[in-house]
């Protein structure tokens, strides 16, 4: 577990690198079911289609997309459960 700077506590990490969409999103959804509201999941993905999927999912499901980065060719998402 790690805490983001004054942000939510990251409870678990999903390593979805090398998986094609929609698998990164499906794995993230599974992880979100295991945590409490206000806690976060960090997702690592390499599929460029994941950008669109994670933005749409966060909007539709009401979860927060706290961070979206792409260091070293790996997309890193922080999803906060609502």
Does the annotation count 21 as an active-site position? yes
Please name which of 34, 42, 31 lies closest in space to residue 9, comparing C-alpha atoms. Answer: 42
Which residues make Cβ contacts (< 8 Å) with residue 57, sequence separation at least 6?
25, 28, 29, 63
- Token couple for 69: 């980065």
Catalytic residue among 4, 21, 23, 26: 21
* Catalytic residue list: 21
């Amino acid at each position: 577990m790690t805490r983001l700077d004054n942000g939510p506590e990251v409870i678990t990490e999903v390593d979805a690198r090398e998986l094609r969409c929609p698998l990164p999103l499906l794995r993230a959804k599974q992880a979100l079911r295991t945590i409490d509201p206000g806690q976060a999941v960090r997702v690592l993905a390499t599929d460029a289609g994941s950008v669109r999927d994670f933005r749409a999912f966060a909007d539709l499901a009401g979860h927060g997309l706290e961070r979206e980065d792409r260091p070293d060719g790996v997309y890193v998402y922080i999803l906060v459960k609502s």
